Structure 1
Amino acid sequence: MESSPLHQSPPPKPIIVFGEVLIDRLGDGQGVIGGAPMNVAWNLRGLEQYPYLITAVGADEDGKRVLESTEQWGLATDLVQTDVDRPTGEAVVYDNGNGPEYDLPREQAYDYIRFPETFVENLPAAESPILYHGSLCCRSPVSFDTILQLRKRFSDHIVVDINLREGHYTTEIVNQLIDGATVLKCNCDELSLITGQPCKTHNDVLTVARKFFEDSTVRELWVTDGASGAYWIDHSGEHAKQEAESIDPNSIIDSVGAGDAFMAVVLAGIATNEFRPETLAKAVRFSARVCQIAGATTADDRFYVA
């Protein structure tokens, strides 16, 4: 007997992922495809979501590698632009003992992502997609203008992932990105910088969040706190805290991409309207798993099996 449509779950909302793709140059010289939006899109595919990825690469060997790897993984590359004048982005990754640090050259292909007019015109507005973007690619006027246009077109569900890299953001731009967002993801240090208030304890985070919601369009906060876990806080006052996974320290390879892994699970949960505390628990577990591989992603489908 076929089930009634009344008892079927609605299809997940489409997800648009906008921003940088780059090559992470790790300490051993190995080049791994990365960039927060790319990592998020890659992990979403592993989680059986198929986002629209809007980014740009150079007309070089790194760009060719990105396109080939992305296609092999099952992600569409229709919206990956090729910039003949600028190189594929790169980041030199250092481990300072407290997590990764990044040297990020400017004038990269992802600094010049153009507005995908045909895609926007052809995507039915009724689909009400989730628009996800970070903050790094907004350092350049061209990509920043593109994301502002996309936000204007897809304003119902704007998810902003704050990644504050020293020398690559201004307070004005960060505030502009938060204004109009419906969901914000950041870590405790970033929440403290955004609000000017300390976020050292559980009570600090909840108090700062309540104050933050008073003058913000943001309806949900997802706040990571490193080895202490993460928070989900809703504007209504509902909230949850998930302690970090206990894993063997000897199994940890690096923490590159842990926040992006967390974000991918959150987006998948939002797209399917999953119970938020359940999404939070999954996101914390998955981000811990990513610390046990080299780099931020893997092409091994088995890694994504719960």
Structure 2
Amino acid sequence: MKKNLFIVLITLMTGTSTFAQTQTINKLMAPIGSATQPFLFSVNTFTAEAPFLSVSSSGNLAERTSGAFGYDGVDQQLALKGYLGNRFTLYANADLGFSRTGSVNSAQQAEVIRDVVGGKNFYGARFGVGLGANRDFSNTAAMFSRVTAAFEAPKWRIGGNLKFEKAFGKYRDGIDLITSAGYQHKIAGAFFAGIEAVGEDLEGFWEADEAEGGAKLLVGPSLNYAPLYSKFSFSLCGGPVFYATHSTAFSSEAIRDVGTTGTQNGYSIRAMVAFNLH
């Protein structure tokens, strides 16, 4: 009898310990394998549960339009992104643009975003507000504010941004409006696929002389792969650029994700590899 009772107690203790360890592992493993930047045209925030610190390298190829911090040609970007604590996320990047004419220019941008709703747990909804500054390829400085929204689940994710930018240039708009949204669903393992859409200079719908050439839209497939146990993650997105309106003003070299010039539709393709330093 005593022997049987001892066996039962040992079994219960072992089972309890295993269950506790499993719960701890599951809690810790939940964010692992998730991308530090799942969408290429929307900036996401980090959380206390997944306090990433990452560096990323991305390239953009565009025709009859401009890529991120770029123009018609090839753009190379290096970015640093990290969790600062208290629901703050830092995002900074620098770009080199190689035009089709052979010239090379640079641009820089930095911003800090704070989640005002959510932001403590990796899964679930969160909303953030941020401030930042940049210098584009034409050496024009700008200040901007960004509103972020995201919902993370084990099998799907959605995210988007609303960006208001004030450029300090003589021939620039008073305020530029840029929107982006993306959705991805788990296909297999750590592979997600979905769609992204970007709308830029949307004031072109009601301003005939919009300074950046008019309202532009991009819609295309979005892919992300963040292997479990790996510090690397990979993203790819691209698609056609539709010029929804055409401005009567000459376009500038403002920092835009999908373009600022041209009178024809074009395309933009972007790929990124990120490494988590945390």
Tell me whether the two structures share a fold, i.e. TM-score over 0.5: no
Higher strand share: 2
What TM-score results when the alignment is normalised by the length of structure 1?
Answer: 0.30
What TM-score results when the alignment is normalised by the length of structure 2?
Answer: 0.33
Higher helix share: 1
Tell me: higher relative CO, structure 1 or 2? Use CA pairs within 8 A at least 6 residues apart.
Answer: 2
